[in-house]
């Protein structure tokens, strides 16, 4: 997957965001959907999650903001160009992790066994970012915003915002150690999973719980999965089918009383939703 083909587009794309995202080291600050068809993605997620995905922008890059019903910024949607697709880019969800120093974090990531997909680059009026993978090949961005306000893309119980970040990985222990070294994540709690699935290990950073890691079953997909809050998870599950997606799991209760679903959108991209239990 030659992700480097995204490099030319990203500085201009990110420039359009004009969002302030300094945030504490190691916290999620932005979510991004790569899509083959913006209009179809807008129809799907506006209906299922209750977002407003922006319409076609005025500039040359096909990038659109994601907003909650109250106007909070969650992230963006990038329509893949033919060049990006030729370079191996596929529809997927990604996220940006806030860091204090992009260049220092980038070098540390490489030194700890991660890989570079895009070297650090400046984003006028927004900050600095890089695109990397962990040692197990799971991709993510790092970024330092230059504005004064923290991002609200992740809020533990924020409506329409991401509430949970879940990593499924081939080497859970090594992955946890890597993220602890690079971002300062800690893992104070865990929960035993059924059979030989091991432990569901919770991630804490900057005095908040942001998600968890788990071991991938043999042959199962790996990577990050993101859960976005909706007001009625049963209604959300029905909307997935109405919008052309597929319900993979749930709704079922999780610790704390919430209920979740895991689904694919109209393009087969996996995402999660979370809502209050009944």
pLDDT in tens, 225-278: 999 999 999 999 999 999 999 999 989 999 888 999 999 999 999 999 999 866
Both tokens of 81, joined, read 């160009």
pLDDT, residue 5, reads 39
Per-chain mean pLDDT for the chain: 89
Q: What is the DSSP letter of 6?
A: G
pLDDT tens digits, 62-111: 788 999 999 899 999 999 988 888 888 899 999 999 999 999 999 999 99
pTM: 0.91
Taking the C-alpha atoms of residue 129 and residue 126, their distance in angstroms, rounded to an integer, is 10
Q: Per-residue confidence at 57, pLDDT binned at 50, 70, 90?
A: low
Side-chain-facing half-sphere of 143: CA atoms under 13 Å: 30
4 or 78, greater pLDDT: 78
What mean pLDDT is predicted for residues 160-181? 98
Name which of 90, 16, 9 is nearest 57 in CA terms. Answer: 16
């Amino acid at each position: 997957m030659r992700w480097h083909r995204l490099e030319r587009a990203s500085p201009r794309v990110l420039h359009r965001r004009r969002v302030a995202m300094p945030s504490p080291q190691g916290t999620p600050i932005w979510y991004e959907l790569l899509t083959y068809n913006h209009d179809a993605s807008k129809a799907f997620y506006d209906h299922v999650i209750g977002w407003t995905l922006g319409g076609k922008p005025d500039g040359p890059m096909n990038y659109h903001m994601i907003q909650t019903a109250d106007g909070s910024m969650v992230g963006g949607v990038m329509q893949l160009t033919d060049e990006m697709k030729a370079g191996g880019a596929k529809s997927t969800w990604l996220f940006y992790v806030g860091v204090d120093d992009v260049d220092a974090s980038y070098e540390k990531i490489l030194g700890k066994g991660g890989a570079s997909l895009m070297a650090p680059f400046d984003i006028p009026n927004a900050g600095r970012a890089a695109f990397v993978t962990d040692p197990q090949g799971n991709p993510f961005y790092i970024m330092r915003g230059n504005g004064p306000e923290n991002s609200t893309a992740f809020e533990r119980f924020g409506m329409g915002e991401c509430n949970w970040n879940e990593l499924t990985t081939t080497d859970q222990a090594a992955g946890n150690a890597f993220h602890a070294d690079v971002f300062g994540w800690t893992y104070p709690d865990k929960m035993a999973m059924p059979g030989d699935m091991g432990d569901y290990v919770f991630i804490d950073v900057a005095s908040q719980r942001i998600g968890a890691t788990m071991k991938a079953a043999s042959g199962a997909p790996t990577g990050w999965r993101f859960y976005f809050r909706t007001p009625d998870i049963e209604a959300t599950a029905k909307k997935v089918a109405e919008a052309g997606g597929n319900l993979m799991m749930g709704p079922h209760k999780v610790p704390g009383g919430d209920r979740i679903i895991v689904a694919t959108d109209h393009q087969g991209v996996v995402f999660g939703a979370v809502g209050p239990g009944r």
